[in-house]
Amino acid sequence: MVTGTQLMEKVLFKIAKQWIAGNSIDDALASAKDAYQSGRHAIINKLGEYHTSKRQISSTTDEYQKIINSFRRWKVRGAISIKPTQIGLSISQKECYRNFEKIIQKARNAHVFVWLDMESTEHTDETIEIYNAYFTKYERLGIALQANLKRTENDLNDLLQIGAKIRLVKGAYKEKANISFKSKEDVDKNYIKLMRMLFKNGNEFAIASHDVKIIKKAENLSKKYPKKFEFQMLKGIREELKSKLIKKKFVISDYIPYGVNWLPYSVRRIKERKRNILLLGSSLIQSQRV
Ligand SMILES: Cc1cc2nc3c(=O)[nH]c(=O)nc-3n(C[C@H](O)[C@H](O)[C@H](O)COP(=O)(O)OP(=O)(O)OC[C@H]3O[C@@H](n4cnc5c(N)ncnc54)[C@H](O)[C@@H]3O)c2cc1C
């Protein structure tokens, strides 16, 4: 007999499949190839975070290296995106640097771009430190900054001084009110302010959002400040808009997560949009009918 939890997980997985490539590296690469054939670049991320098991950290480090080595064989223009706590930051900085070093060495040999995802604020300083330490050694390295944090304007100013490559996101983690903007209105206002800073003083940056208002503003800013930048969106979201932007000659990257650890990622996506919650509700009802 199927229990309530099993049923819920089954339904969630059905919904999650629109956002994730599948369980394996080959699923991720196949999805990256699809994206590439639709004129997009691909950024592959292995799902999972806050790893404390050495075995899990070591296998994640190995998988990122395998992906880097596979792009050429799969004829894909791809990058990877890593969460520092996947490769050891939850154990120690030393462990994280040791693993990041291995990944960067492979990326350097294969000329593959590496992004550092930004996690919750307990790791912001450490993630920026990792970026600073490695950007001097490897230029094809980018870092995500979150517009929902009050500190980000300062971080962006500092990082722009060294020519850092920034991915600007709204921020996916719940943070305390004294350090973060809480309303959508305030987050959006700060996003636009930071985006202007990028267009004026940055180069090679990414506007990572599905928000049509933000994207329209970026399109307008790009006319005034012609800079090398790209739009990044998550796999399975805003597919039509992606095609329209490609027709307008903008560069689009699909962020493609894969792996068995799909639940927290999918729950974040469901919470992001009312319609996704409705979709979950209706799928549950349908699955009980059959
Ligand atoms: C490429 C990429 C990388 C990211 N990396 C990080 C990171 O390193 N650290 C981090 O904290 N966060 C990261 N995020 C997540 C980000 O912080 C936001 O949580 C997420 O992008 C939702 O914000 P939004 O800009 O799309 O705007 P929102 O205001 O959340 O959404 C605007 C509109 O976009 C559409 N939309 C948004 N989400 C969905 C969805 N799930 N399904 C369908 N439609 C949707 C809806 O129409 C919504 O009204 C990343 C996002 C992207 C696209």
pLDDT for residue 148 is more than 90: yes
Q: Which residues pair with 186 in a beta bridge?
A: none
Residues 6+ apart with CB under 8 A from 229: 198, 199, 202, 203, 204, 205, 206, 207, 218, 222, 251
Q: Which of 170, 194, 242 to probe ligand 1 with, by most ligand atoms within 8 A of CB?
A: 170
Tell me if 31 CB under 6 Å of ligand 1.
Answer: no
Q: What distance in angstroms lies between residue 290's CA and the mean position of ligand 1's atoms? A: 33
The CA-atom distances, in angstroms, between 271 and each of 70, 275, 278 are 33, 9, 11
Sequence letter at residue 7: L
282 vs 26, residue with greater confidence: 26
Cβ(208) – ligand 1 distance below 6 Å:
yes
Ligand 1 atom closest to the CA of 210, numbered from 1: 26
What are the pLDDT digits (tens) for 201-260? 998 999 999 999 999 999 999 999 999 999 999 999 899 999 999 999 999 999 999 998
Beta bridge partners of 255: 43, 234
Instruction: Give the CATH number of domain 21-261.
Output: 3.20.20.220
The model's pLDDT over 53-81, given as tens digits with 9 standing for 90+, comes to 999 999 999 999 999 999 999 999 899 99
pLDDT in tens, 84-111: 999 999 999 999 999 999 999 999 999 9
Q: Whose CA is nearest to atom 29 of ligand 1?
A: 211
pLDDT category, 8, cuts 50, 70, 90? Answer: confident
Contact 124, 149 (CB under 8 A): yes
- Report whether residue 279 contacts ligand 1, using a CB cutoff of 6 Å: no
Q: What is the pTM of this model?
A: 0.92
d(CA 254, CA 44): 8
82 lines ligand 1 (CB under 6 A): no
**Rounded CA separation 290/124 (Å):** 46
Name the least confident of 39-43, 112-116, 267-271: 267-271
Q: What pLDDT is attached to residue 14?
A: 77
Q: Where are the domains of the chain?
A: 21-261
Give the pLDDT score at 278.
Answer: 67
